[in-house]
Every structure is written in C-alpha cells, then in structure tokens.
C-alpha cells in the first residue's frame, strides 16, 4: 500500500481544527476508533505506550473518534472509563467520513502514514504495542 493520505480537516477534542498536514515531516499512526467499540478501547493503552516511544523520534499517534457526541464526551471517556489523560491528539469525525477519506470499513482501523504523507500500512482490528513498534520502525 502506498497512497497519499487525504488532506481533510477534522475538529479536535480541544476545540480547534487539525489535519494530517499539521504533522508534516512526522510519522503518523492514525487510529480510527469509537468509544462503543470494545477492541478500540482495549488497544488505547497500547497506543499510549506507542506515543511515548515514537514521539521523541518524530512520530505521533492521532486518534480519530467516530462519534456523534460532543468533544467533552471524549475527554470524559478518557478520564472516567480509561482513567487516563489524553496522551495524543484526538480528533472527531463520523463513520461516514472515516469510510470516505480513509476507507475505514470497520473498527478499530489503524494506518501508518510516513513522513511524506503516504499511507504505508493499514491494520483492521486490535493492535498491540509490540506489533505497532515493529511495523513503525522502518518509517521512524
């Protein structure tokens, strides 16, 4: 797989707007997830660990929550259900947007986007820290 990542803007949980171009020159691990998706929730601690390891090396995890609620709901979910502070940027979108822009036909859906904005890998289903770090290594 080697297709350019789409240039699309999403609202952030913090109240702004963001797009993949905001992370130009970085490796992005885009995780498309939902609070209602049990495997999505189980993999978040793995993604937090990945963020800690790749951030110093020019990488970041971005979470695209496909939800119908308010940004505060995502923040509350992290704090109350996960007992964590958000450890990486969180965007909000819809299932329809995830399908249209990222061909995310199922959740969780995780993409590795290289420093040039090219989608290099896609994972459908639960991913683990070790699996992701191994797959990210060539791009960091």
Q: Could you tell me if residue 44 is inside a domain?
A: yes
**Whole-number average pLDDT of the chain:** 95
Q: In total, how many domains does the chain have?
A: 1
Strand order from edge to edge, sheet including 59-66 = 3-4, 118-124, 109-113, 27-33, 59-66, 90-93
pLDDT of 83 > 90? The answer is: no
Quote the pLDDT of residue 114. 98
Q: Could you tell me if residue 1 is inside a domain?
A: no
pLDDT of 1 > 80? The answer is: no
Q: By residue range, what is the domain housing residue 115?
A: 22-139
Quote the pLDDT of residue 29. 99
Quote the pLDDT of residue 135. 98
Neighbours of 113 (CB within 10 A): 23
Residue 43 phi/psi, 5-degree rounding, is -85, -10
Which pLDDT band, with edges at 50, 70 and 90, does 68 fall under? confident
Q: Could you tell me if residue 120 is inside a domain?
A: yes
pTM of the entire structure?
A: 0.95
Q: 108 preceded by cis ω (within 30°)?
A: yes
**Separation between Cα atoms, residue 122 and residue 130, nearest integer Å:** 16
Quote the pLDDT of residue 99. 96
Q: Tell me, what CATH number does 120's domain have? A: 3.40.30.10
Q: Could you tell me if residue 112 is inside a domain?
A: yes
């Amino acid at each position: 797989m080697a297709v350019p990542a789409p240039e699309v803007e999403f609202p952030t949980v913090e109240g702004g707007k963001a797009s993949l171009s905001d992370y130009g020159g970085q490796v992005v691990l885009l995780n498309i997830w939902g609070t209602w998706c049990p495997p999505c929730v189980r993999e978040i601690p793995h993604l937090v660990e990945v963020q800690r390891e790749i951030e110093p090396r020019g990488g970041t995890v971005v979470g695209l929550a496909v939800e119908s609620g308010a940004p505060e709901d995502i923040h509350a979910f992290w704090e109350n259900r996960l007992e964590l502070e958000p450890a990486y940027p969180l965007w909000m979108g819809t299932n329809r947007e995830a399908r249209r822009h990222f061909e995310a036909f199922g959740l969780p859906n995780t993409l590795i986007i290289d420093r040039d904005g090219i989608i290099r890998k896609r994972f459908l289903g639960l991913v683990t820290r070790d699996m992701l770090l191994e797959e990210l290594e060539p791009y960091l």
